[in-house]
Amino acid sequence: MIIGYLRVSTGKQHPANQQDEIQRFAMAQNWTIDVWVTEIVSGKKREQDRKLGLLLRKMKRGDTLVVTEISRLSRTLTEIMSIMGKCLHKGINLYTTKEGYAFDNSINSKVLCFAFDLVAEIEHNLISMRTKEALALRKANGMVLGRRKGTYTRYNVLVENRLRIIQMLRQGSSITDICKYYALSRDTFDKFRRAYPSIQRAILDKEQQRINRLKKRMIERKRD
């Protein structure tokens, strides 16, 4: 299968010129483009987050991918090398019409594949080294890394004060009031109430009391 890939950065740009150029290239090779893939996305976005990523995952050994220029794959060198490496590993032929690059099953492509793997590994090691150096620098400056031993999360604050929370509910405090009092989100409180039946019962009792009060008012209004 031969696939033509077209990418533009904004909706104001048109991929027609790219398509015409790939079509001329295919005709010169006596090829027929079986599938066209077009997307409007920044070249800085990661390949796996674009149609291109899905396309590469679906393509099989012997398939051919044609682009007008290498920058259509990505705007970053590391990403371009990663994409080209994937193509070479999977046996996908990659051609660019403007630069005239050809990455196929030739010995030159295999050498390039090794080079790309090496560059990717070096880049990975450099990132890891920079991360370790940054953490070491923070530690040297007295910063505590990770969560301090014995510190409480907001969820733990609720657990430690659950009896107080039951009392607050019985005294008329709403869930919103409790969340504001302990400076936490409703999601955290919902997780807490599901884990402790006593809290759930207190909430249900509070709701039943509210319903009883409404019924009582309605009965009083009817009497009047």
Within a domain: 135: no
Same domain (yes/no): 103, 33: yes
Tell me the sheet residues that pair with 36: 4
Q: What is the pLDDT of residue 224?
A: 64
Same domain (yes/no): 160, 83: no
List the single range of 38-47, 57-66, 120-129 with lowest mean pLDDT. 120-129
Q: What percent of the chain has pLDDT over 70?
A: 86
Same domain (yes/no): 81, 185: no
User: In the predicted model, is pLDDT for residue 148 greater than 90?
Assistant: no
User: In the predicted model, is pLDDT for residue 98 greater than 80?
Assistant: yes
Q: What is the pLDDT of residue 13?
A: 77
Between 134 and 87, name the one with better pLDDT: 87
Distance CA 36, CA 182 (A): 56
Average pLDDT score over residue span 8-22 = 86
Distance CA 18, CA 37 (A): 12
Same domain (yes/no): 158, 89: no
Within a domain: 146: no
Same domain (yes/no): 14, 79: yes
Q: What is the pLDDT of residue 87?
A: 86
Within a domain: 6: yes
Within a domain: 127: no
Same domain (yes/no): 87, 159: no
Query: Where is the domain boundary, 121, 143, 172?
Result: 121
Between 49 and 224, name the one with better pLDDT: 49
- CATH code for the domain in which residue 109 is found: 3.40.50.1390
Same domain (yes/no): 110, 189: no
Within a domain: 130: no
Q: What is the pLDDT of residue 150?
A: 43
Same domain (yes/no): 31, 89: yes
Tell me the sheet residues that pair with 103: 94
Q: What is the pLDDT of residue 212?
A: 81
Residue 66 near residue 97 (C-beta atoms within 8 A): yes
Q: What is the pLDDT of residue 55?
A: 93
Residue range of the domain that includes 183:
154-223
Within a domain: 79: yes
Q: Which of 17-31, 48-62, 104-118 has the highest mean pLDDT?
A: 17-31
**Across the chain, what does the average pLDDT equal?**
82
Same domain (yes/no): 116, 198: no
DSSP secondary structure, 84-141, as one string = HHHHHHHT-EEEETTT--EESSSHHHHHHHHHHHHHHHHHHHHHHHHHHHHHHHHHHT
Within a domain: 55: yes
List the single range of 40-49, 84-93, 134-143 with lowest mean pLDDT. 134-143
User: In the predicted model, is pLDDT for residue 121 greater than 80?
Assistant: no
Same domain (yes/no): 43, 114: yes
The count of domains in the chain is 2
Same domain (yes/no): 106, 38: yes
Within a domain: 166: yes
Could you read off the pLDDT of 182-193 as tens digits, one per residue?
Answer: 888 888 898 888
